[in-house]
Amino acid sequence: MEEGLTYITLRDRPELMTEAAEWFHEKWKVPKEAYISCMEDYLSGKTEYGWYLCLKDGRIVSGMGVIENDFHERKDLFPNVCAVYTEKGMRGRGIAGRLLDMTVRDMRKKGISPLYLVTDHTGFYERYGWEYLTDVRCDGGEISRLYIHR
């Protein structure tokens, strides 16, 4: 594991909630309030769907969350890993893969499995045990790939 990197859940560092919501908003343009609402539900124990971060020198460099549905028509396929992002300068170091593994392990420990994930990427998620399941229509009308981790 790369020196200077710390992998945490938001419950480990709840004081990062606003910063994390702003970071995810900046990356995905989903309203910050939507992230805050999901994060508050997680921090209060209303849900076990978590938020996972990688910090380098205290700064967020990668993250992802787990939510009920990631803006697609297949509401029966849940929960979904969402908002997967690693800063461009930090890519290619296995950071997202470690966060994905951490997320799967944490959810499985809570009895939550399988997980689903919507993406246009091919080849990346398969390296971490994800399998292509089907195409789905997203809320914006576009078709994306839906993966499953069993």
In a domain, 30, yes or no: yes
Contacts of 105 (CB under 8 A, 6+ apart): none
How sure is the predictor about 1, in pLDDT bands with cuts at 50, 70 and 90? low
In a domain, 95, yes or no: yes
CATH code of the domain in which 17 resides:
3.40.630.30
Average pLDDT over residues 106-120: 97
In a domain, 146, yes or no: no
In a domain, 127, yes or no: no
Taking the C-alpha atoms of residue 9 and residue 65, their distance in angstroms, rounded to an integer, is 9
How sure is the predictor about 3, in pLDDT bands with cuts at 50, 70 and 90? confident
Alpha carbon 65 to chain centroid, angstroms: 3
In a domain, 129, yes or no: no
Taking the C-alpha atoms of residue 111 and residue 13, their distance in angstroms, rounded to an integer, is 23
Total domains in the chain come to 1
Average pLDDT over residues 54-79: 97
In a domain, 126, yes or no: no
